[in-house]
Amino acid sequence: MLSLPPFEPTGLLPAGVHPATWPQFVEGFGTSAHRRQQLEKLEPALRLLRNAGCARVFVGGSFVTAKSEPNDVDLAWDVDGVDADALDPIFFDFDDERAAQKRRFAAEFFPAQVVEGLTGRSFLQFFQYTRDDEPAGIVIVDLGTIS
């Protein structure tokens, strides 16, 4: 059984990509009422991604830290095998800093293999660094593990 590593003294996960099933992710990061509400809003989005052929997502940002009340969930979805025509258009709505995504799912979604404009890194790479450009761990969630 996979297990998530403990947080570093900085409150971050150790650098790298840490695999988790959906139940493990919920158990590891649903540690407060606030976080559980965010996860409840996130789960339908993950089902939509899975139904369009997405096999996995990479979760980064403050949600995968020791922060008690992160603002939202930042994630990159793997575009491999995804039928873009079958995907809800909200995943391509980046208007107003992704306001529609945040309202509906308490999350922001980025295609993992697309390059983020300021850093020149793919979003998968981008999420593996803090705002101060320090390495940070992220979690890869297998969408096949959502019941």
Average pLDDT over residues 62-73: 94
Range in 55-59, 91-95, 116-120 with the lowest mean pLDDT: 116-120
Judge whether 76 and 123 are in contact, CB under 8 Å: yes
∠ at Cα 50 (119, 66), nearest 5°? 55
1 has a pLDDT exceeding 80: no
Average pLDDT over residues 110-121: 92
**How many other β-carbons are positioned within 10 Å of the β-carbon of residue 103?**
10
Calpha distance 10→104 (Å, rounded): 31
pLDDT digit string (tens) for 79-96? Answer: 999 999 999 999 999 999
Mean pLDDT of the chain: 95
59 has a pLDDT exceeding 70: yes
pLDDT of residue 2: 61
Calpha distance 35→19 (Å, rounded): 19
Nearest to 52 by CA among 88, 86, 101, 90: 86
pLDDT digit string (tens) for 19-53? Answer: 999 999 999 999 999 999 999 999 999 999 999 99
pLDDT tier at 117, thresholds 50, 70, 90? confident
pLDDT of residue 98: 96
